[in-house]
Structure 1
């Protein structure tokens, strides 16, 4: 099988059902943004330090990246068609459990923090913003046609998880969080 098909050379692509749509269609934008988010997460993971201490986090992200593929499949499936692995509320709950687990080890937030610190933490912040964009695109799709509500919930929770992961990575690599400099203070 060749990697190129030439079928998209005129600005169209196929949804899961085979229906051809413009590459700028809202569904295509939504699942394409999930693909970007998945790649951003992969980059962030590649920047984590080596060692066993990071294996559990890598394992959680293996699940997360798989779920992002599933969300992409849901977004690429037109209304009225079914997908083999729908996102469920249990998937959202899994993320909430991961957030609570990591957040319990972090100091409480007293003000906004600036993205940055360890390269992996900074990359998780970038992934968070891409997931937020994917969420906005999924909300747009859901305003136009029926979409599994768990998709938007999952993307919303995933961006929260990525924020907490970035903080956790900074803490566990000895990087101080940079707080927003409020106007009028030194």
Structure 2
């Protein structure tokens, strides 16, 4: 089987159940953003040594693929996301207690890993905006709320991870 199919050469792509949509469709923008976020998480995982952080980021990638499945039209449920949001909040609180008090804005950089976590944070924020845009056409508010809450909290966690790796705690 060849990797190319030529079916997207006219600016359309396939989604769940064989439906064809424009590559500029908000659904495709949302799916592409989730895919981009997952790919950049994979990149960051190659830059860190902390096994617990790597394992946690791998779980986030799995959640992102679950979201892609649901936003593509699968009937998969998103019940596990609420539990993960709680884990994000616990991790944020733990990291925050270990860091110096924040006294102003942070300019991304400092070291490579911290800078990459800032890149993840802004990709996550863009993904959240694209999900909100797409969700305006969704019939189920519950799906949108679960994903948006997850991504909002994930971006908070990525900010804290950037601080953690900057401070090297």
Q: TM-score, normalised by structure 2?
A: 0.90
Residue 69, structure 1, aligned to residue 65, structure 2: yes
- 1:183 aligns to what? none
**What's the offset of the Cα at 1:172?**
1.1
Q: Does 1:3 find its partner at 2:3?
A: yes
Confirm or deny: 8 A CA contact 1:70 1:86 kept in the other structure: no
Aligned with 2:21: secondary structure? strand
2:81 to 88, 95, 98: 88
Q: May I ask how many residue pairs the two structures share in their alignment?
A: 166
1:83, CA displacement in angstroms? 2.3
Tell me the secondary structure at the aligned position of residue 140 of structure 1: helix
Cα separation, 2, equivalents of 1:84 and 1:151: 11
Distance 1:9 1:86, change over 3 A: farther
Corresponding residue for 1:24? 24
Q: Which has the higher helix share?
A: 2
Larger radius of gyration: 1
Q: Any gaps of 5 or more consecutive residues in structure 1?
A: 174-186
Q: Which moved more, 1:92-101 or 1:126-135?
A: 92-101
Is the contact made by 2:124 and 2:154 (CA closer than 8 Å) also made in structure 1? yes
Task: Supply the distance in 2 between the matched residues of 1:8 and 1:87 (Cα, whole angstroms).
Answer: 33
**Alpha-carbon deviation of 1:87?**
5.3
Q: What are the superposed Cα offsets for residues 81-121 of structure 1, whole Å, 9 maximum, x if unpaired?
A: 51266653222222212222222211121111101112011
Q: Cα RMSD over matched residues? A: 1.7
Residue 5 of structure 1 deviates from its aligned partner by 2.1
Aligned to 2:34: 34
Query: Any idea what SS the aligned residue of 1:13 has?
Result: strand
